[in-house]
Every structure is written in structure tokens, then in C-alpha cells.
């Protein structure tokens, strides 16, 4: 069953067109990875989905209900759509635990004690039980991002959008975050914009290759990596593969 449907999304910033008609669908608990060169509109696409920057044209449905309908209460939908940011965007004045529980307390109106219990479970799930009382500034980048993931998970979303979740991290910290994301596979739908080809190849159910504001090609990772139909996809994957090294694709 289709959980998320994105249809014919257009978005410009000023006169510069960023997205020129993007459509795709996602099933429940599916993992999709969006790859493509910088400036192609991958992040913009994610922000169009949860309406952080509403599209100029096009529609988005979540479980059959239209998000892009102007009459809809967007906040209700955003509860169901987790978002993990490239630069974490943790709340600086709150501990790791409160970062995770605040959505439960203030949006879901769950009692503070209950919310924090739930938050602690999510922190444990991402391996940060011991860091619960620390503030964002006291955490490493990788830890911050895992708090970010726990914060999204706590809301019990239908889908989590990841906007280059490892791009701001030191290489040795990327693994921890990717491991957490792998562990979520098949438990919650994930739409991931990333340059981590190893993750795309091994974890994704499907890969979407975007360039110039459109989807050039999409398909299963195996197909895309070994037998891409479009020349441009081949070229991009070839270049990226050479850059990041083939050994990553093994694990």
C-alpha cells in the first residue's frame, strides 16, 4: 500500500527553478535513498514534503490524506513525518533527554514523566542512555545526530526524512549514525538524502537518482549500481564510487 505519494512537485527560489516536476511513491516501512549532485534540489524536495518550504505546485499525500491541501492542519501531518537535519538543529537549551521528550510533552500532550520514560527508551535505542542529561554543546557531532534521530523516532512517525544526516560529521563518527539508521530499516519508512553510497547500496530498497530538479532514474540498488539505464546515472555512480572507494560497498 502506498503510504507517501509525491506528485509533480515544482519549486523555485526567486527566479531559479529548483524542482521541475518530481513524482514518486513510498510504501510503508520502505527505505528510499535519494542521490545526485549538489544543488539538484534533493534537500528542497524533503522540505517540500513536510511543507517547511511549501512547493509552488504539486501535491503530497500521506496515507491518502493530502498534506498540500491549504485547508489541512499541517502540524498534525508533521507529527507523522520525522525530520533529521544535516546540522542537527537540536534545541540548545535542553538536555538530550528533553530534546527527545519535548515533542511528546508539548505536541502529543503526554505527561512529563511518561514522555521522559519514552524518550529514555529512544535514547537507549540510539545508544545514548549515558548522555541523557548532557546538553547538545557537550555532545559530539555523531551523538548530536543520534539525538536528532531519537527525537524524530519518539514521535512515532510514519516516515522519517533524513537530509544529509552524515554530511556534517567527521568520518569516524559517520558509522555510528549509519548503524542507527540501518537498525531502523523495515521498522519505519525512511527517505534519505545522502552521499553515502555504501548505505545506499546495502540498505536502500530503492534508489532515486536526481539531477537538475528531476528524477533521472530510480530502481533497486543492485540494478542502479550494476546496470543503470541512463548514461548520466552510470557516470555519476562511477565518479562517486571512485571518490568514496569500493570497499565501503562491501559491509
Q: Helices 112-125 and 96-106 meet at what angle, rounded to 10?
A: 130
144 binding other proteins? (CB under 8 A): no
50 binding other proteins? (CB under 8 A): yes
Cell of 150: 531519537
List 28, 52, 141, 195, residue binding other proteins (CB under 8 A): 52
Which three-class secondary structure state does DSSP give residue 11? strand
The secondary element (H helix, E strand) that includes residue 33 is strand 31-35
Order across the sheet with 2-13: list the strands. Answer: 16-27, 2-13, 57-62, 65-66
| Closest to 95 in 3D by CA, of 150, 42, 47 | 150
Nearer to other proteins, 135 or 244 (CB): 135
Q: How far is the CB of 139 from other proteins (least distance, A)?
A: 9
List 65, 87, 113, 179, residue binding other proteins (CB under 8 A): 87
Nearer to other proteins, 83 or 209 (CB): 83
Q: Are 248 and 166 in contact (CB under 8 A)?
A: no
Nearer to other proteins, 77 or 209 (CB): 77
Binding track over 148-177 against other proteins, x by CB under 8 A: ---xx--x----------------------
For other proteins, which stretch binds (CB under 8 A), given 6-14, 136-144, 195-203, 214-222?
A: 136-144
Q: Which residues contact 68 (CB under 8 A, 6 or more apart)?
A: 51, 54, 55, 58, 59, 60
Residues of this chain that bind other proteins (CB under 8 A): 50, 52, 75-79, 81-83, 85, 87-93, 102-103, 106-107, 134-138, 151-152, 155
Amino acid at each position: 500500500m502506498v503510504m507517501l505519494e509525491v506528485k509533480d512537485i515544482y519549486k523555485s527560489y526567486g527566479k531559479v527553478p529548483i524542482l521541475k516536476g518530481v513524482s514518486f511513491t513510498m510504501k510503508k516501512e520502505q527505505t528510499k535513498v535519494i542521490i545526485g549532485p549538489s544543488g539538484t534540489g534533493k534537500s528542497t524536495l524533503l522540505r517540500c514534503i513536510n511543507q517547511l518550504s511549501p512547493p509552488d505546485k504539486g501535491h503530497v499525500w500521506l496515507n491518502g490524506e493530502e498534506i498540500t491541501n491549504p485547508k489541512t492542519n499541517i502540524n498534525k501531518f508533521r507529527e507523522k513525518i520525522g525530520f533529521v537535519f544535516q546540522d542537527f538543529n537540536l534545541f540548545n537549551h535542553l538536555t538530550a533527554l528533553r530534546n527527545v521528550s519535548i515533542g511528546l510533552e508539548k505536541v502529543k500532550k503526554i505527561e512529563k514523566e511518561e514522555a521522559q520514560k519514552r524518550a529514555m527508551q529512544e535514547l537507549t535505542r540510539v545508544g545514548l542512555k549515558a548522555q541523557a542529561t548532557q546538553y547538545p554543546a557537550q555532545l559530539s557531532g555523531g551523538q548530536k545526530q543520534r539525538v536528532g534521530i531519537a527525537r524524530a523516532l519518539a514521535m512515532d512517525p510514519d516516515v522519517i526524512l533524513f537530509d544529509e544526516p552524515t554530511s556534517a560529521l567527521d568520518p569516524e563518527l559517520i558509522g555510528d549514525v549509519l548503524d542507527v539508521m540501518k537498525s531502523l530499516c523495515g521498522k519505519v519508512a525512511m527517505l534519505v538524502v545522502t552521499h553515502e553510497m555504501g548505505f545506499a547500496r546495502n540498505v536502500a530498497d530503492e534508489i532515486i537518482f536526481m539531477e537538475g530538479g528531476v528524477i533521472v532514474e530510480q530502481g533497486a540498488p543492485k540494478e542502479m549500481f550494476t546496470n543503470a539505464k541512463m548514461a548520466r546515472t552510470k557516470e555519476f555512480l562511477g565518479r562517486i564510487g571512485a571518490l568514496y572507494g569500493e570497499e565501503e560497498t562491501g559491509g
